[in-house]
A and B are shown apart, each in its own frame.
Chain A
Amino acid sequence: DAGITQSPRYKITETGRQVTLMCHQTWSHSYMFWYRQDLGHGLRLIYYSAAADITDKGEVPDGYVVSRSKTENFPLTLESATRSQTSVYFCATPRTELSNGELFFGEGSRLTVL
């Protein structure tokens, strides 16, 4: 029961660099989500996807790009990283297709932008 795999788990980069965080699910569920977690803010939704080739903005999408060419993959790209994007990023998908919003989370990707 692998569920969701995020990579890399840890990444240090410099301001202005492009970074891609990968998310892979083994269930082929339709919906996938990207959240960022910051102290004092909890988790905030960046982007989500309802199916392959269908994506939509969440609460904090600026500075991020997503794609979903395959159902099982949902990469998140920071095209030009900024210090304010230092955060822990979580990918999530519903536990089942009918789980009424209950999300299952990956272990997170901790990104530091210097």
Chain B
Amino acid sequence: AQSVTQPDIHITVSEGASLELRCNYSYGATPYLFWYVQSPGQGLQLLLKYFSGDTLVQGIKGFEAEFKRSQSSFNLRKPSVHWSDAAEYFCAAGGGADGLTFGKGTHLIIQP
């Protein structure tokens, strides 16, 4: 069965510090991979996506993610977080006709 795992339910980071959010997937073949962000009371916004090619992908708001086939991972990173980055982050995988499979999300808290 297809699955996406985000091991960290909550992460607290100081403003200005670096960030890494973990994501592992389990699929029959390498799926398309996505990171979405959701601010409180809002819908989901796409941060970045990986289809093929360069395993380091750049997204919006200074985020990047690295695809590692050997580890079935697609971790999200940012070198220096801002208070406005506090949100819920979802990793997703798929690309077929039946939509995306989402992880359970990681709640990011920014400490001043």
Contacts and interface: CB of A to CB of B under 8 A. Distances in A.
Interface of A: 31, 33, 35, 40-45, 48, 50, 56, 58, 90, 92, 95, 100-108
A26 B51 CA distance: 26
Contacts of B98: 45, 48, 56, 58
29 contacts: A31-B97, A31-B99, A33-B99, A35-B99, A35-B102, A42-B6, A42-B103, A42-B104, A43-B92, A45-B99, A45-B100, A48-B97, A56-B98, A58-B98, A95-B46, A100-B32, A100-B51, A100-B95, A101-B34, A101-B96, A101-B100, A102-B49, A103-B99, A104-B46, A105-B43, A105-B44, A107-B42, A107-B43, A108-B42
Q: Of residues A35, A42, A56, A101, which shows the largest number of chain B Cβ atoms within 10 Å of its Cβ?
A: A101
A85 B51 CA distance: 34
Given A40-B104, A42-B105, A58 B43 contact: no
Which of B31, B49, B98 has the most chain A CB within a 10 Å cutoff?
Answer: B98
B46 A102 contact: yes
A52 B43 CA distance: 25
Contact of A92 (B32, B96, B97, B99): B99
B67 interface: no
Residue of B34, B44, B102 with highest tally of chain A CB at under 10 A: B44
A42 B43 contact: no
Contacts of A104: 46
B97 A50 contact: yes
Contacts of B95: 100-101
Contacts of B101: 45
A48 to B, nearest CB: 5
Contacts of A40: 9, 104
Identify the interface centre among A33, A42, A100: most chain B CB within 10 Å of its CB.
A42
A77 to B, nearest CB: 19
Given A102-B34, A102-B49, A42 B102 contact: yes
